A and B are shown apart, each in its own frame.
Chain A
């Protein structure tokens, strides 16, 4: 039988972004497949080179639009380490709090869109409803829903003066997560579609340098939060599973939402007892000149390890900025995962990797 080549993307409803998957089909079986990226390339790294540090700071949120705080943090952390600026303890806790809220929001959006790709429409709205609460809080605090520009070099821009919204989220979310379990994880159709779909072996995951929930689902306990200075007083578990198939990746992510809530409540308790109002160390942001050197900051973003490599030549502008993001590597392993599966499984597997295209192309 003749093989049929079919383009999935870049304008396809469920690649949510502009990924092109060129698949070679035999009937509905995928014989061969390659991914084509670069449709959303904005030159994030090159743009840094003719901007001052402060000018570049608002742009980094756009590297991964669902995890703005993580990118902000990665860049700020690199700058702070190069300039050896001390971050006040209160600012550190606020940063952790915001990042974990952002992780929940990001995982919720993934949850909704993934189920939509599998053909279930309700979870999409449920997940967005809960995400909306978090975004409302972000908007209240930072004035923005997605591109926050809230972290600054040496701290954060504004203190958290109201905590009711977060307490509300912490109160509502666990019940809703139980509802999700009932409609999603207990659903035989969902289990059928995700179990043993797109298994990433431990070896392949390490070879392709997969990180984040996709890696942790294989059983490797790799989470840079555990090494981070920011999380050292915070008690949380690293969620792992035995086998990285679509179902376990889902379970790891929902587990991470619960762990994030644990972290948030700890941060909140700390912030309430703390009386200092120092949220930022004094630093000349506008004419910031970093000493010559190089620093790589590590952040555990929702989609895997985010590295921001910052090279400074002593001038006002960075000499080179390099981003390493989780989704890029997840896309690379996609052809290997898809081989031997059928067309409906494309979305079941691709969606489970939680790829955000702006993060891939940067």
Chain B
């Protein structure tokens, strides 16, 4: 890390740019890279969702642009870039413009927090799980701001619904996360992952914390405004809900934020309950290959990324499947689900985990 930093400063020095500028910009560069990767992944994710949804209903899905429609989402993105940004006359213009940015920025930081491999130096610190959770609530505020500033009745209903939803599902999620952090005695996503690296698949926290896993699985789409909890943009009731008035790139930012948060949330489930980048076999397959040590370590990183993405994409697929199957749940029933079932269940889950911790002790349960 230091080596790259010095190299970067030297490069700037040769170009005649002051060192202070380099010190500031060096922190920003990773985020720029993440943002670029994020857009690529989201483009793939949207295509993946459309293809999978098409598969569920026996359609072909996009298959005209590019090979098997692989460039369809790219074409859509370009279209959105060139679309007119419709400005609003009434309503709060500053908040209106701020909301899409506010919804995407935290997600980019979240992507930086995720443990893709065991040695991803960037943003590795204790409390990263807590930081993650804090950041996921900011897009919710952005949704509210968007609805509030749009001066549209459909938007305001969508915005209020989003807030109700967010508040009621925050608590069960926090309780589950508390249980996981008790199990691993850590709030660091890397340490949580490493704590599950025992006895292969049986070391994963999905076993001691199965109830918590189910709660997370239900509560996260509610946080994400995803089907069956997509109340804040229920198109059959509220046209497009909070983003009715948005168009062009501003709409695209909301869209990006939604899908990248879907990926990040699925990744969180993979990390908390399925051992993140750990191999399900206990050892990495790359270790078995008869190659040089340096190559093995690189291959292990590649394999870790593979496992991480595989687990995440499986969970994403599950959410797409849910979207294809379930009707929307109305708002007041949603609140019932959260306060009457999920919250007590998450507390029970916490107690179970505490008992397991007391009996077995240690980070590996």
Contacts and interface: CB of A to CB of B under 8 A. Distances in A.
A125 B325 CA distance: 12
A119 B225 CA distance: 13
Contacts of B153: 4, 6
Contacts of B362: none
Of B53, B236, B239, which is in contact with the most chain A CB atoms at under 10 Å from its CB? B236
Given A6-B154, A119-B234, A125 B59 contact: yes
B56 interface: yes
B148 to A, nearest CB: 14
B327 A345 contact: no
Interface stretch (A86-94, A184-192, A282-290): A184-192
Contacts of B154: 6
Contacts of B331: 28, 342, 344
Contact of A119 (B57, B58, B230, B239): B230
Interface in A1-46: 4, 6, 12-14, 28
Interface in B313-333: 323-333
A120 B57 contact: no
A190 to B, nearest CB: 5
Given A122-B57, A129-B58, A342 B327 contact: no
B9 interface: no
B330 A193 contact: yes
B237 A344 contact: yes
A115 B324 CA distance: 11
A183 B321 CA distance: 13
A119 B332 contact: no
A61 interface: no
Contacts, number: 79
B348 interface: no
Contacts of B57: 121-122, 124-126
Of A119, A121, A122, A125, which is in contact with the most chain B CB atoms at under 10 Å from its CB? A119
Contact of B236 (A6, A28, A119, A125): A119
Interface residues of B, number: 29
B327 A14 contact: no
A309 interface: no
Contacts of B58: 125-126, 129
B228 A119 contact: yes
Interface string B63-77: 000000000000000
A346 interface: yes
A285 to B, nearest CB: 43
Interface residues of A, number: 30
Interface string B321-351: 0011111111111000000000000000000
B237 A121 contact: no
B157 interface: yes
B300 interface: no
A28 B157 contact: yes
B237 A346 contact: yes
B227 interface: yes
B126 interface: no
A325 B317 CA distance: 45
A344 B56 contact: no
Contacts of A346: 237
Contacts of A121: 53, 57, 323-324
B325 A342 contact: no
A120 B333 contact: no
Given A13-B235, A192-B329, A344-B328, A119 B157 contact: no
A343 B331 CA distance: 9
A14 to B, nearest CB: 4
Of A12, A118, A124, A187, which is in contact with the most chain B CB atoms at under 10 Å from its CB? A118
B327 A343 contact: no
B228 A189 contact: yes
B61 to A, nearest CB: 12
Interface string B9-34: 00000000000000000000000000
Interface string B119-148: 000000000000000000000000000000
A121 B59 CA distance: 13
Interface string A99-115: 00000000000000001
A133 interface: no
Given A189-B329, A344-B330, A345-B330, A119 B324 contact: no
Contact of A118 (B56, B59, B236): B236
Contact of B157 (A120, A187, A343): A343
A334 interface: no
Contacts of A78: none
B338 to A, nearest CB: 15
Interface in A61-108: none
A116 B333 contact: no
Given A6-B153, A6-B154, A342-B332, A120 B236 contact: no
B325 A119 contact: no
Contacts of A190: 327
18 contacts: A4-B153, A13-B236, A14-B236, A118-B236, A119-B236, A120-B325, A120-B326, A125-B57, A126-B58, A187-B326, A189-B326, A189-B328, A193-B329, A342-B330, A343-B157, A344-B231, A344-B237, A344-B328
Given A4-B153, A14-B235, A28-B332, 5 more contacts: A14-B236, A117-B236, A187-B326, A193-B328, A347-B237
